[in-house]
């Protein structure tokens, strides 16, 4: 029987497929004991299962590359850490060897123990880690019984589940899954961001889906509006076919914009830079006519391995990126890795109580000076091959900028003394993603050559909302008056001092935010190549002068509803 469900659209696209239900994970195992004489062999069986899972995670991690390495890799690394956690391993050892529990029952008991500890914590970030515990324990349980714990999908299927982990998305798409519907989640979660990168339609927060959808039901999923139609009728199917035709027409229209200028209706030129972290991203940015690379992430060089990359390896990567953009500027961000992006090199601390506020970004670089010097040497050597701009993350004060400048000058002098060819001018910029840096900008803006607004972290820190916490998804929004005013003030400060300002977070990649950012004075966007044509089309439809004339009413908005009203009026 036909019915419709309303969720939140998280990744656009409309599909017709067959439902595949995944019920919430629950390890329901009755109390089981083994003969004391068999306890040691039972423990060996459990050890073997844990080793199997450890190898599976490492093998999957090694297969990742490019954007997937960053987005998915950190979750796999977190699961590897949980698997090696002494609390988990010692608890299992005691339950099997001393209390003579079966391996299955020991897993259930230890899972419940750890979950109770996390659920009792005040910090919502740590409470949300129960899902990770369940996924790790589920893998070990599957390995105990030699079952494949990986979720499998089939061509033409729509996965309907409580949640979906980022680490599953690429695998599901490769298997032919055409869309995902979840009963929980947020459009701003890591899973949603990755789904958009993969162009995989996603609807989240469709609360009744698991109760009202059955395996094999036909589903129409609209990842833009969040509408899910179960067992569609003739009218639904005709409407779906029409949307497919419109989508195909839209793709053809967008492809014609590949070489068109990014210029508003009233003739104002806007620069679109690309975010990149692989050769493929750089090649796509070049083909789309990007003004340059606005953010090249260097973390992937460090996160996919067991040892640190040396100077020559980094130099070759940075040189290839610069040459790949054929003279257009390339903004390379220094290492931004910390306990929130776990690595296997021992570079980041493993036991930070609050990773988002810990030793990361420029803080790590200034502590690990040998590491920083190696990266700077590689970057300066690559600067001889094209226009490199150096971008420093997680800046909070002028002192950090001056320390970086001093280190750049020292390394440059060292390279020249060695007879190395380097550029005479490598602009130094900073990311504004910490509220303190935004508030103190007037005190150090003369010390930087450009600014990049990292709206993802800026929103998180301004609103004190973990952007990965699905229970707080509705609170994490760039459409908060404080966020709007910080963006406006930063752009205004940059213009006053002749310092270019770009936005490089998810906000720049969403076409619906383009009129708002133009009204706030932004002229430089940095975004994923996959959304560049949509943003270009939106900007070409905007009247820059009209948006600027109404900017004051946007900044005066007192709440999210007022900002959303402004956006609706701006799009008319």
With a cut of 60, say whether residue 118 has pLDDT above it.
Answer: yes
| Among 43, 79, 141, 190, the one annotated catalytic | 190
What's the rounded mean pLDDT across residues 366-371? 93
| Between 378 and 49, residue with greater pLDDT | 378
In what side-by-side order are the strands of the sheet with 227-230? 3-6, 227-230, 218-222, 14-22, 157-161, 179-182, 202-204, 8-11
What's the rounded mean pLDDT across residues 60-69? 55
Rounded to 5 degrees, φ, ψ at 289 are: 75, 30
528 noted as active-site residue: no
With a cut of 70, say whether residue 126 has pLDDT above it.
Answer: no
469 noted as active-site residue: no
With a cut of 80, say whether residue 405 has pLDDT above it.
Answer: yes
CATH topology of domain 271-509: TIM Barrel (3.20.20)
For the chain, give every domain's residue range. 1-244, 271-509
> With contact defined as beta carbons under 8 Å apart, do 24 and 153 qualify?
no
Between helices 39-63 and 66-83, what is the axis angle to 10°? Answer: 160
CA distance linking residue 494 with residue 394, whole number of Å: 18
Strand partners, 5: 228
| Between 522 and 114, residue with greater pLDDT | 522
| Among 480, 504, 528, 544, the one annotated catalytic | 504
pLDDT (tens digit, 9 = 90+) per residue, 198-228? Answer: 789 999 989 889 888 988 899 999 998 999 9
With a cut of 50, say whether residue 67 has pLDDT above it.
Answer: no
Q: What share of the chain is helix, strand, coil (3-state, %, to 5)?
A: 50, 15, 35
Q: What local confidence, expressed as pLDDT, does residue 501 receive?
A: 98
> With contact defined as beta carbons under 8 Å apart, do 264 and 543 qualify?
yes
CA distance linking residue 123 with residue 532, whole number of Å: 37
| Between 418 and 50, residue with greater pLDDT | 418
**Number of C-alpha atoms within 13 angstroms, CB side, residue 376?**
25
What's the rounded mean pLDDT across residues 153-177? 81
CA distance linking residue 98 with residue 552, whole number of Å: 70
How high does pLDDT run on average in the chain? 86
Q: What local confidence, expressed as pLDDT, does residue 340 receive?
A: 45
> With contact defined as beta carbons under 8 Å apart, do 560 and 531 qualify?
no
pLDDT (tens digit, 9 = 90+) per residue, 537-570? Answer: 999 999 999 999 999 999 999 999 999 999 998 8
What's the rounded mean pLDDT across residues 403-416? 97
Superfamily of domain 1-244: PtsI, HPr-binding domain (1.10.274.10)
Rounded to 5 degrees, φ, ψ at 521 are: 105, 5
Looking at 61-65, 111-115, 154-158, 516-520, which range is the least confident one?
61-65
Nearest to 138 by CA among 108, 102, 162, 93: 108
Those residues with Cβ within 8 angstroms of residue 267's Cβ, 6 or more apart along the chain or in another chain:
none
Share of the chain above pLDDT 90, in %: 49
Is residue 32 helix, strand or coil? Answer: coil
CA distance linking residue 543 with residue 570, whole number of Å: 10
- pTM higher than the cut 0.85: no
């Amino acid at each position: 029987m036909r019915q419709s469900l309303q969720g939140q659209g998280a990744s656009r696209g409309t599909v017709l497929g067959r439902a595949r239900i995944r019920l919430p994970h629950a390890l329901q195992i009755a109390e089981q004991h083994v003969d004391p004489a068999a306890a040691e062999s039972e423990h060996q069986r459990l050890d073997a299962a844990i080793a199997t899972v450890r190898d599976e995670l490492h093998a999957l991690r090694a297969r990742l590359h490019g954007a997937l390495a960053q987005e998915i890799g950190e979750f796999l690394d977190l699961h590897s850490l949980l698997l090696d956690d002494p609390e988990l391993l010692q608890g299992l050892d005691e339950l099997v060897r001393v209390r003579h529990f079966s391996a299955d029952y020991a897993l259930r008991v230890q899972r419940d123990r750890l979950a109770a500890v996390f659920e009792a914590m005040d910090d919502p970030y740590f409470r949300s880690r129960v899902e990770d515990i369940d996924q790790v324990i589920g893998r070990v349980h599957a390995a105990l019984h030699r079952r494949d714990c990986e979720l499998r999908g089939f061509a033409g299927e729509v996965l309907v589940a409580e949640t979906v982990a980022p680490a599953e998305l690429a695998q599901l798409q490769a298997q032919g899954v055409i869309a995902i519907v979840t009963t929980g989640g947020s459009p701003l979660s890591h899973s949603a961001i990755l789904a958009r990168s993969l162009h995989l339609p996603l609807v989240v927060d469709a609360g009744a889906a698991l109760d009202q959808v059955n395996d094999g039901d036909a589903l129409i999923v609209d990842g833009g509006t969040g509408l899910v139609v179960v067992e569609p009728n003739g009218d639904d199917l005709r409407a779906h076919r029409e949307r497919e035709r419109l989508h195909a027409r839209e793709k053809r229209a967008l492809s014609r914009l590949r070489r068109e200028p990014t210029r508003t209706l009233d003739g104002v030129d806007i620069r679109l830079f690309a975010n990149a972290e692989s050769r493929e991203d750089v090649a796509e940015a070049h083909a789309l006519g990007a003004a340059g690379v606005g953010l090249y992430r260097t973390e992937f060089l460090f996160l996919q391995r067991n040892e640190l990359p040396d100077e020559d390896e980094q130099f070759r990567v940075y040189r290839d990126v610069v040459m790949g953009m054929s003279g257009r500027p390339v903004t390379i961000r220094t290492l931004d890795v910390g306990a929130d992006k776990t690595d296997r090199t021992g570079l980041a601390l493993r036991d930070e109580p609050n990773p988002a506020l810990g030793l990361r970004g420029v803080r790590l670089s200034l502590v690990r000076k040998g590491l920083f010097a190696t990266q700077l040497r590689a970057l300066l050597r690559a600067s001889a091959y094209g226009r490199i701009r150096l971008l420093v993350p997680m800046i909070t004060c002028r002192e950090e900028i001056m320390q970086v400048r001093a280190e750049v000058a020292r390394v440059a002098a060292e390279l020249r003394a060695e007879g190395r060819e380097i550029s005479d001018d490598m602009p130094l910029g900073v990311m504004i993603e910490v509220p303190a840096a935004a508030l103190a900008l007037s005190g150090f803006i003369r010390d930087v050559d450009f600014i990049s607004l990292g709206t993802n972290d800026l929103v998180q820190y301004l609103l004190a909302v973990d952007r990965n916490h699905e229970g707080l998804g509705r609170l994490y929004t760039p459409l908060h008056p404080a966020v709007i005013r910080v963006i406006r003030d930063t752009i205004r400060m940059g213009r006053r001092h002749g310092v270019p300002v770009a936005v490089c977070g998810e906000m720049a990649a969403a076409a619906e935010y383009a009129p708002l950012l133009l009204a706030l004075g932004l002229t430089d966007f940095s975004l994923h190549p996959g959304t560049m044509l949509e943003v270009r089309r939106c900007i070409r439809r905007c009247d820059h002068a009209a948006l600027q004339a109404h900017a004051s009413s946007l900044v005066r908005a007192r709440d999210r509803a007022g900002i959303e009203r402004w956006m609706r009026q701006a799009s008319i």
